[in-house]
Amino acid sequence: MVKAGIIGATGYAGEELCRILLGHPEAEIAAVSSVSFEGKPISEVYPSLRGIFDGVLTDEDSAIAAGDVVFASLPHGLSEPLAEKCLSAGKKFIDLGADFRLDDPADYTRWYGLEYQKPELHREQVYGLPELYREQIKGAALVGNPGCYPTSVALGLAPALRAGLIDGKTLIIDSKSGVTGAGRGLSQTTHYPDCNEAFSPYKIASHRHTPEIEQALSHLAGEKITVTFVPHLLPVNRGILSTMYASLKRDISAEELCTLYREAYAGEKFVRVLEPGQAANLKHVKYSNYCDISLHPDGRTRRLIVVSAIDNMVKGAAGQAVQNMNLLFHLPEDMGLGLVPPAF
Amino acid sequence: MVKAGIIGATGYAGEELCRILLGHPEAEIAAVSSVSFEGKPISEVYPSLRGIFDGVLTDEDSAIAAGDVVFASLPHGLSEPLAEKCLSAGKKFIDLGADFRLDDPADYTRWYGLEYQKPELHREQVYGLPELYREQIKGAALVGNPGCYPTSVALGLAPALRAGLIDGKTLIIDSKSGVTGAGRGLSQTTHYPDCNEAFSPYKIASHRHTPEIEQALSHLAGEKITVTFVPHLLPVNRGILSTMYASLKRDISAEELCTLYREAYAGEKFVRVLEPGQAANLKHVKYSNYCDISLHPDGRTRRLIVVSAIDNMVKGAAGQAVQNMNLLFHLPEDMGLGLVPPAF
Amino acid sequence: MVKAGIIGATGYAGEELCRILLGHPEAEIAAVSSVSFEGKPISEVYPSLRGIFDGVLTDEDSAIAAGDVVFASLPHGLSEPLAEKCLSAGKKFIDLGADFRLDDPADYTRWYGLEYQKPELHREQVYGLPELYREQIKGAALVGNPGCYPTSVALGLAPALRAGLIDGKTLIIDSKSGVTGAGRGLSQTTHYPDCNEAFSPYKIASHRHTPEIEQALSHLAGEKITVTFVPHLLPVNRGILSTMYASLKRDISAEELCTLYREAYAGEKFVRVLEPGQAANLKHVKYSNYCDISLHPDGRTRRLIVVSAIDNMVKGAAGQAVQNMNLLFHLPEDMGLGLVPPAF
Amino acid sequence: MVKAGIIGATGYAGEELCRILLGHPEAEIAAVSSVSFEGKPISEVYPSLRGIFDGVLTDEDSAIAAGDVVFASLPHGLSEPLAEKCLSAGKKFIDLGADFRLDDPADYTRWYGLEYQKPELHREQVYGLPELYREQIKGAALVGNPGCYPTSVALGLAPALRAGLIDGKTLIIDSKSGVTGAGRGLSQTTHYPDCNEAFSPYKIASHRHTPEIEQALSHLAGEKITVTFVPHLLPVNRGILSTMYASLKRDISAEELCTLYREAYAGEKFVRVLEPGQAANLKHVKYSNYCDISLHPDGRTRRLIVVSAIDNMVKGAAGQAVQNMNLLFHLPEDMGLGLVPPAF
C-alpha cells in the first residue's frame, strides 16, 4: 500500500484527493493537514465524508512524515520547502499548485511575481501530464501537476500541433470553467446570487495559466507559441470546456481529423476522441478522469475548431495527481480512477 | 460473477444501475434492453458511458436469458410477466417500478388504477429496504425495490415509530426532490427554462408514493397510519430531502434522540445519524448510497422534526437495488457501493 | 414628487428599492447611503445600474435630510435612532429590518437578544402589511415592513384563520427561500459550490421570523397561536414558497375554499388566488409584487394545505415597502408596482 | 395608443412582447394569436400573467385586423404572407423570425433551405437594429427584427469595424446563450437534467445566424467578411454573451478604445461601454434592453477582444422589436423600455 500525505487537504483539490484515494485499492491516506482546521476531523469541514473518512487534520510535517508520497495543494510560493523536505527524506512529491510547472524561471517571475528560491530543485521537476510526458514521470520524484486549463488545452491540441496541421500564431483559446475552479475561499464573484444566472470572462488575456499553456504548446509544436487565452466563469460546479481556434495549414476532413487524433491517443484510456458531428460536453466527463475531445474543421474559413472537456477537479487536478502517483509507484496507471461519469 | 440483465436500461434508474454495476467487483452487466433504442449502443444514449460501456441494447427476453438477476425499471403495470418469466427460469427479479411494493391489492388498484393480474406472484414479493427487511430479502427471489420518497421517509421515521415516540395521526411529510425523479421523458415541467429558478409542490396529497409510505410506517408503528404527503420539485438534478413533522408523546432532548437513532442504526453502513445541531443536506449524499438523518425536537410545540436526505437515483433507486442484489446473492451488502459522495 | 432617502442602499433590499423607485412616476431617489461604500456611486456596487442610476453613496444623516420618506434596511438594533430623527423632523420612516415589527418587547428581547431602547417609539409603529393593516398604515409615520417569511404566511392563512376554518394549534409551516434572502454578505453556506445542487433546512424551529409569524397569526385568529416553522435554503436567486399545514375544523371543498379566499381578497391587486387544482410556483411571481396562493384540502387526513409564493425581495421587502410608501403619501397603492413577472 | 397584434404569442418572444407592452404607456395589446392554444387565455399558458393579462388567444387574421402594428414570432418560412397582408392593409409589420433579415436571397436559400416567394416584398425590408439603421427604420413599414446573436455581435464590433481598427479576415466569435434562446419547444437538450450542470457548443460553424452576422459586419466594414461563429448553450435562463477576437491593425490602448466606442455610441441609451478593466456580464443586462460592451486589447498577440452582453429575449428579441415599433410610430425610442436590470 502506498501511503499518501495530503497537505492543504481542506481545499477543493484536497477533498477530491481524499474522495479518489478512498477508493484506491493500493493506496491509503496516511495523513491530512490543514492550517485553518488543524485538530478537527476533515469530515467536519466536508460533511459528505462523515463516517467514511473522519481523519483528524494535522500539520505539514506530520503529513510528510506519514507519506510515501506527499500531495500539496497550496497557493503558489509555498511548495518549494515542502518539496525539498520530501526529496531529502526519499519521498515523492506531487504539487497541485503552480510552483513546479514552469521551466523558465522568468515566466514564473513575470506571471506570479515571485522568484524560484531553489533553482536546482526545479531542474528535477517533471510536468505531470501523463499522456504527453509518461516516461519522464515514471522516473521522477518531483511532479508539477498541471493546471486545469492547460490540461484541457494541451490534450486538445497535441495531435494537431505535432502533425503540423495548424498555424500556431493564430491560436485563440476560449475556456469556460465551473466555479470550483475558483476554490473554497469566499468572494463576491462566487457568492451564489452573484454567480447564479450570470456569465462573464475574467482575467482576460492575463490569466496565470497562459505561460503554462504556451510552454506545453510550444513544446508540442517545436516552436515558440503565443496564444490569446480568455477564461470565463460558468455557473456550474465542475468542469472545464475549452473551445480552441486556429488556422489550418491544409484542408482536412472531419473524418481524417478523427483518425489522426484516435491514432495519436491510441491506448490512452482517459482520452476519448468523439465521432465527427459530435460535440464535447462537460456533462459527460463530470466526476471522472476523462478528457473528451471533438474536432470541427470549418471549411468556410479554413480553421480548425477543437473542443475539449474535462472535470477541472479530477483530470484537471486530483485525478491527474493520482494518475501521476500510479506512474511514480509503478502501479497500473488507471488504478483507483475507474470513476464512471454519471449521466446527470 | 453475478450476471445482471437490465430491462429499461435507458431510463435514469437503468443508467445508474450501469454506472454502479460497472464498478462492482463481483457482478457484470450481461445485457441491457430498451424498447426505444433497441439495436443501439447504450453509450449513444448516454455519452458519459462512451468507451466505458458500449453494450448494445437488446430486448427483454435476451436480458432475462442473460442474467442471473434481472433488474426492471419500467412504468407500472409492465413487470408482472417479466417477474413470472424470471422466477420460472430460476432467476432473481428486482423491480424498480411500483408493481411489487404494495401488499394490499386494493391499494394498488386505488392509486395506480390497475389490478394485480397474478395475485399469487405478489405473495412472494419482498419489500427491498434492507435496513428494515434484511432477513426477508436474503431468502427472496422477487424484490420490490422501494420508491425514492418512501425510502427517505421510512428510514427517517423508523426508530421514532418503533420506540412509540410520536403520534402517528399527526404525521406530515414535506418532501423535495431533484428533477431526475421525474425521469428522462420530456415535459413542460422539466423543460429547463420552466424548471430552473422555479419551485412548486405537485400531486399535493395525491402522490402515488403515499400508500407505500403508509404501508411502511404502519408496519413500523404496529397500527394503521395515514399521512399528509406533499412532494415538491427542486431545481437540482439529484437528491431527495424529506422534512417530517409529528407530535411527540413525551419530552425528549436532541441528545437522547440522537442516541436512540444511533442505536437503532448501529452497524448500518448506509445510514448516518447526524449530531444534534446539524441538519441533513442532500448535497452530502449525492451520488452515493447514504441516507443522512437529522433530528430536531421543537420544545415550543412539542413536536419532532426529522430531516432525511438521500440521492433519489442511488439509495432511492439503483444503489438500493444493488444492495438488494448483494443480499440475494450472499455478497457483502456494501459491495460495489463504496461511492464516496463528492463534496461539490 | 415624493423624495426618498435609502439607508443601507447597498444591501439587496436597498438595491431593489432603487430598481423599483426608478420606475415610480411620483417618487424619486433623493439620496442613498452606505457605510461600506460611502463616496462611491452605487452603480459601482451594482453594475446593473450603470448609466441608469449612478448616485453617489452618502451617509445616514444626508439620507434623512434629503428624504420625505426614509427607508432603512439595516441589521436589527440599528433603526431606533434613525426612526426618532425622522419622526422629529416630520418625515416618514419605513424600516425594512426587524426593529419595528414586534409589538411585545419581550418577543424582541427573547428572539433578538436586545431590548427596545425607546419603548414609546414602538407605540407608534404600524405593521406594514397593507392587505391586512391598510387603514392603520395610511395614518402612520413609522412602519415596520414585514419579514419575507411572515408576509408569505400571513397572506396565505388570513382568510382561513379569520373564518375559523383551521385549528391554530396544528399549524406547521415549511418554507423555502431563495438565496438572496440571506443577503449580500459572504458565507460558506452561500458560496456557489456549497449552495448549488444543495438543499437543506436551517434554523429549524428557531428562526427569528417565528414570533413575527405568531403575532400576525394570533391577531388574525383572535387567540394565541404557536407554530412550528422550518425554513429551507433553495438554490434559486429569488422567491419564497411556504407550504402550510393545519387540521380543518370542518369539511370543505377546494371550490368553497377558493371562493372564501377570493372574497377575502376581492379588490386586492397583489394577491392572486389560484383555481382549484393549480399550485403556486415561485416562478410565476418573480420580480413582481404578487403573492400567489393555492388551496388544497386533504380529505384523507382532514387537513388544509395552503401554498403561497412571493418574491422575497419585492412583496417580501422592497415592493411592499413602496406599497407602504404609496399609502403613507396617499398615492395609488399600486403606483410604480406594475412589475409584470417574467415567465422565465 | 398604438394597437399591437402579436402572432405566435405563446412562444417565448411573444410572451416577452406581452410583458413589455403591458408597461408601455402609448401602446396596447389589441390581439394575441396562437395556433396551439387558440381559444385559451394566454395566462393559462403563462401563469405569470394571471390577472394581469388574460387575453384570449385568437388566430392570425384577427391579430392582423386588430393591430396598427403586427409582431410575428414564427418559425422561418411563415412570415411572407402575413407581411403582405399587413402591408396591403396599411399596417406595419415587425418580424421576429428570420424571413426578413437577409438581403441576399441566395443566403436565405443556402442557410434556411427555402426561397423567397415574394422577392419584391424583400426590397422593402429594413434590418431593425436601431443603433445602426435608425433612419431607415423610421420610414419603413416592414422590419426584420435582428437575431439575438447578430445583435450582440454587430453592436460589439461596429465601432471597431467602422474605424478600420481590426482585420475582418481574422474574426472569431465565441458566443454563449441562455436556454430560452432554444425556445419553448421541448427537446432532450433542454430537458432540465441534461441541461443543468452541462455546457457544450452546438451547430459549430454552421448556425443560421452566421450569414446575418456576416451581412451586418460586411456592411459595417465596407468589405465582405466571413467569420467563424460558434454558439454554446449556457445553463442559465436568459442572456447572450459574445466573446469576439480579431487582429488589430495598429496598437491601441484600452483607454483609447473606450473613447472610440463611447463616441460611437454617444446618445445611445441602450448601449453601455464599460470602463477599461471591467468585463461585460450577462447578469447586468438581464430583463432589460441594454447591451453592455467591454474592450480588451491583448498587447502580447496584438488582438482585440470585445465582449458584449445582452438579454437574448429583450434586446435580442422583444425589446428591440418594441424599440423598432417606437421608431415606426414616431414615439420616443425608449418608451416602455425603461426596464431596470435587477442585480440578481
Which residues, given as ranges, of chain D have pLDDT below 70? none
Q: How confident is the model at residue B67 (pLDDT cuts 50, 70, 90)?
A: very high
Report the pLDDT value the prediction gives residue B187, as an integer from 0 to 100.
97
Between β-strands C303-310 and C240-247, what pairing exists: parallel, antiparallel or unpaired? antiparallel
Nearest to D172 by CA among A173, A223, B3, C331: A173
Active site residue D148: yes
Contact C314, C339 (CB under 8 A): yes
CATH number of the domain to which D63 belongs: 3.40.50.720
Alpha carbon dihedral C301, C306, C312, C314, in 10-degree steps, equals: 180
- My answer on whether A175 and A262 are in the same domain is yes
Contact C281, C292 (CB under 8 A): yes
Q: What is the pLDDT of residues B127-185, one digit of tens each?
A: 999 999 999 999 999 999 999 999 999 999 999 999 999 999 999 999 999 999 999 99
Q: Which residue from C minimizes the CA distance to B235?
A: C235
Residues of C near A (Cβ–Cβ under 8 Å) read: 12, 179-180, 184, 186-188, 190-193, 195-197, 235-237
CATH number of the domain to which C265 belongs: 3.30.360.10
Query: Is the residue at B123 inside a domain?
Result: yes
Report the alpha-carbon distance of residue D102 to residue A295 in Å, rounded. 30
Please give the positions of C annotated as active site.
148
Query: Is the residue at D338 inside a domain?
Result: no
Residue B235 with chain C: CB contacts under 8 Å: 234-236
Query: Is the residue at B340 inside a domain?
Result: no
- Rounded to two decimals, the pTM is 0.98
- My answer on whether C244 and C139 are in the same domain is no
Contact D309, D240 (CB under 8 A): yes
Q: Which residue from C minimizes the CA distance to D341?
A: C48
Report the alpha-carbon distance of residue B154 to residue B171 in Å, rounded. 12
Of the candidates A148, A195, A258, A291, the residue annotated as catalytic is A148
Query: Is the residue at B168 inside a domain?
Result: yes
- My answer on whether B161 and B288 are in the same domain is yes
**What nine digits make up the cell of C32?**
442613498
Report the pLDDT value the prediction gives residue D179, as an integer from 0 to 100.
98
Domain count, chain C: 2
Q: Do A282 and D198 touch (CB under 8 A)?
A: yes
- My answer on whether D180 and D218 are in the same domain is yes
The Cα diameter of chain D in Å comes to 61
Report the pLDDT value the prediction gives residue C308, as an integer from 0 to 100.
98
Q: Give A283→chain C minimum CA distance, Å.
A: 14
Q: Give B152→chain C minimum CA distance, Å.
A: 14
Query: Is the residue at A252 inside a domain?
Result: yes
Q: Do B176 and C176 touch (CB under 8 A)?
A: yes
Q: Which residues contact C247 (CB under 8 A, 6 or more apart)?
A: C166, C167, C170, C302, C303, C304
Q: What is the pLDDT of residues C109-135, one digit of tens each?
A: 999 999 999 999 999 999 999 999 999
Beta bridge partners of D27: D2
Sheet of strand B291-298, all strands in order from the earlier edge strand to the far edge: B200-201, B228-233, B172-177, B240-247, B303-310, B291-298, B271-273
Q: Give C340→chain D minimum CA distance, Å.
A: 6
Contact A14, A6 (CB under 8 A): yes
**What nine digits make up the cell of D51?**
390577472
Q: Give A197→chain B minimum CA distance, Å.
A: 9
Nearest to C174 by CA among B243, D136, D175, D88: B243
Backbone angles phi, psi at A301, to 5 degrees: -115, 5
Q: Do A19 and B338 touch (CB under 8 A)?
A: no
Nearest to D46 by CA among D78, D75, D6: D6
Q: Do A197 and D238 touch (CB under 8 A)?
A: yes
Q: Give C173→chain B minimum CA distance, Å.
A: 10
Q: Give C201→chain B minimum CA distance, Å.
A: 7
Measured at the alpha carbon of residue A213, what is the angle toward residues A210 and A217, in degrees to the nearest 5?
140
Residue A341 with chain B: CB contacts under 8 Å: 48-49
Q: How confident is the model at residue C48 (pLDDT cuts 50, 70, 90)?
A: very high
Report the pLDDT value the prediction gives residue D335, as an integer from 0 to 100.
98
Report the alpha-carbon distance of residue A20 to residue A14 in Å, rounded. 10
Please give the positions of B annotated as active site.
148
User: B123: which DSSP letter?
Assistant: T
Q: Do A199 and D283 touch (CB under 8 A)?
A: yes
Residue C344 with chain A: CB contacts under 8 Å: none
- My answer on whether D261 and D321 are in the same domain is no
Q: Do C245 and B204 touch (CB under 8 A)?
A: no
Q: What is the pLDDT of residues C305-324, one digit of tens each?
A: 999 999 999 999 999 999 99
Q: Do A179 and C196 touch (CB under 8 A)?
A: yes
Report the alpha-carbon distance of residue A205 to residue A190 in Å, rounded. 21
Q: Do B197 and C281 touch (CB under 8 A)?
A: no
**What nine digits make up the cell of D119?**
422577392
Q: What is the pLDDT of residues D123-154, one digit of tens each?
A: 999 999 999 999 999 999 999 999 999 999 99
CA A295 to chain centre: 21
Q: Which residues contact C178 (CB under 8 A, 6 or more apart)?
A: C234, C236, C237, C238, C239, C240, C282, C312
Residue A16 with chain B: CB contacts under 8 Å: 342-343
Query: Is the residue at A258 inside a domain?
Result: yes
Residue B283 with chain A: CB contacts under 8 Å: 48
Partner residue opposite A343 with nearest CB, options B46, B285, B290: B46
Q: How confident is the model at residue B72 (pLDDT cuts 50, 70, 90)?
A: very high
Contact B246, B295 (CB under 8 A): no
Q: Give B220→chain A minimum CA distance, Å.
A: 26
User: A318: which DSSP letter?
Assistant: I
Q: What is the count of residue pairs from C and D with beta carbons less than 8 Å apart?
A: 87
Beta bridge partners of A242: A175, A308
Q: Do D228 and A307 touch (CB under 8 A)?
A: no
Query: Is the residue at D73 inside a domain?
Result: yes
- My answer on whether B289 and B215 are in the same domain is yes
Q: Do D243 and A282 touch (CB under 8 A)?
A: no
Query: Is the residue at C335 inside a domain?
Result: no
Q: How confident is the model at residue B238 (pLDDT cuts 50, 70, 90)?
A: very high
What is the percent of chain D with per-residue pLDDT over 90, rounded to a whole number?
A: 100
Q: Do C198 and B236 touch (CB under 8 A)?
A: yes
Sheet of strand A69-72, all strands in order from the earlier edge strand to the far edge: A57-58, A27-33, A2-7, A69-72, A92-95, A142-144, A126-127
- My answer on whether D137 and D174 are in the same domain is no
Q: Give C87→chain D minimum CA distance, Å.
A: 31
Partner residue opposite C202 with nearest CB, options B194, B279, B282: B279
**What nine digits make up the cell of C29?**
431617489
- My answer on whether A201 and A302 are in the same domain is yes
- My answer on whether C233 and C320 are in the same domain is no
Nearest to B98 by CA among B152, B144, B151: B144
* Count of positions (residues) in chain D: 344
Q: Do C179 and A192 touch (CB under 8 A)?
A: yes
Residue D192 with chain B: CB contacts under 8 Å: 179, 190-192, 195-196, 235, 237
Q: Do B343 and A15 touch (CB under 8 A)?
A: yes
Residue A340 with chain B: CB contacts under 8 Å: 18-19, 22-23, 48-49, 52-53
Backbone angles phi, psi at D240, to 5 degrees: -130, 135
C-alpha to C-alpha distances, A308 to A24, A148, B329, nearest whole angstrom:
27, 12, 42
Contact C303, C323 (CB under 8 A): no
- My answer on whether C153 and C52 are in the same domain is no
Backbone angles phi, psi at B196, to 5 degrees: -70, 140
DSSP one-letter string for A234-264:
-SSSS-EEEEEEEEBSS---HHHHHHHHHHH
Which sign does the torsion angle of CA D99, D104, D109, D111 carry?
A: negative
Q: Do B204 and C286 touch (CB under 8 A)?
A: no
The position carrying cell 456580464 is D281
- My answer on whether B303 and B243 are in the same domain is yes
Partner residue opposite C280 with nearest CB, options B193, B200, B238: B200
Q: Which residue from D minimizes the CA distance to B187?
A: D186
Q: Which residue from C minimizes the CA distance to B280?
A: C200
Alpha carbon dihedral B146, B152, B158, B164, in 10-degree steps, equals: -130
Q: Which amino acid is at A223?
A: E
Residues of B near C (Cβ–Cβ under 8 Å) read: 170, 172, 174, 176, 193-194, 196-202, 204-205, 226-228, 230, 232, 234-239, 241, 243, 245, 279-283, 286, 296, 298, 300-301, 303, 305, 307, 309, 344
Q: How confident is the model at residue C199 (pLDDT cuts 50, 70, 90)?
A: very high
Contact B237, B283 (CB under 8 A): no
ipTM over 0.90: yes
Q: What's the domain range around C55?
A: 2-146+315-328
What tens-digit pLDDT sequence spans chain A (344 residues)? 999 999 999 999 999 999 999 999 999 999 999 999 999 999 999 999 999 999 999 999 999 999 999 999 999 999 999 999 999 999 999 999 999 999 999 999 999 999 999 999 999 999 999 999 999 999 999 999 999 999 999 999 999 999 999 999 999 999 999 999 999 999 999 999 999 999 999 999 999 999 999 999 999 999 999 999 999 999 999 999 999 999 999 999 999 999 999 999 999 999 999 999 999 999 999 999 999 999 999 999 999 999 999 999 999 999 999 999 999 999 999 999 999 999 99
Residue C22 with chain D: CB contacts under 8 Å: 338, 340
Report the pLDDT value the prediction gives residue A10, as an integer from 0 to 100.
98
Q: Which residue from A minimizes the CA distance to D197?
A: A236
Report the pLDDT value the prediction gives residue C47, as an integer from 0 to 100.
98
**Straight-line distance from the first to the last Cα atom of chain D, in angstroms, rounded to the nearest whole number:** 33
CA D282 to chain centre: 15
Report the pLDDT value the prediction gives residue D160, as an integer from 0 to 100.
98
Nearest to B170 by CA among C167, C293, C133: C167
Partner residue opposite B52 with nearest CB, options A46, A340, A344: A340
Q: Do B282 and C200 touch (CB under 8 A)?
A: yes
Residue C236 with chain A: CB contacts under 8 Å: 196
Mean pLDDT of B203-217: 98
- My answer on whether C22 and C98 are in the same domain is yes
